[in-house]
Structure 1
Amino acid sequence: MKVPVELRAQGATLLLIWPDGAHQRLPVAALRAACLCGHCRGARLRGQDPAASISPDLALIGIAPMGYGVQLVFSDGHDRGIYPWNWLENFAPSARKTTTLTTLPGTATSCAEPSSTPH
């Protein structure tokens, strides 16, 4: 498992510096939109968009390494998700505003888009 040698908030991004010297900058809003916690995953499965209410001035106010990943605390009060190192290393924020499904690398998923009709 690769673990960053440095990890810090830098403006609207999370900066990770990997052991090979590679720098990775991940947008805070994209990380929040892709939150891996049960609450956010459940909302996405129900066709809701947790990213819809993300403020443009969202910031990281806490970073707590947890062994296999990191817990991020966002300025909107959300602090439930733990982001595994492998997931962060492979995370590529999409150009789309919404994230329909986020998974750990190597897990099976459905690629179906949420229904636009009410349930």
Structure 2
Amino acid sequence: MTPLEIRLTPQALTLVWPDGSATLSAQALRAACRCADCHAAALRGQAVPVPVATALAGLAPLGHYAVQLRFADGHERGIYPWPYLQQLAATQEATAANGPLRSGG
């Protein structure tokens, strides 16, 4: 499903869907990057390096299925399909509703 509206600020990406809207922070999007370099780091068990002052610098639509985000640090290889962005938003909402995960102890 393609969003009806896309709003980009340096801090966040807001997507308006027919059934609601979602706002994803620049840091969350950068941490969720699935480009080859970030994916390889994740497979090695390494955290994706997310600069503290992460900011969105632009986006490019890719057909009707995704956007490619450009970050202020020059990272711009990740492709974010609409279903993936919906999944990220749903995970973010569930985390907010349930509170942060706590380790036992």
Higher strand share: 2
TM-score (norm 1): 0.69
- Secondary structure, aligned partner of 1:76: coil
CA shift digits 1:60-119 (9 cap, x unpaired)? 1111110210000001110001000011011124658xxxxxxxxxxxxxxxxxxxxxxx
Pair 1:83-2:80 in alignment: yes
Percent of counterpart pairs with the same letter?
A: 47
Tell me if the contact between 1:16 and 1:25 (Cα under 8 Å) persists in the aligned partners.
yes
TM-score (norm 2): 0.78
Separation in 2, partners of 1:72, 1:11 = 11
Higher helix share: 2
Residues paired across the two proteins, number: 92
User: What value does the CA root-mean-square deviation take over the aligned residues?
Assistant: 1.7
**Mapping 1:19-58, distance limit 5 Å:** 19-20=18-19, 22-51=20-49, 54-58=50-54
Tell me how far 1:11 sits from its aligned partner. 4.5
Where does the alignment leave 5 or more consecutive residues of structure 2 unmatched? none
Separation in 2, partners of 1:11, 1:37 = 20
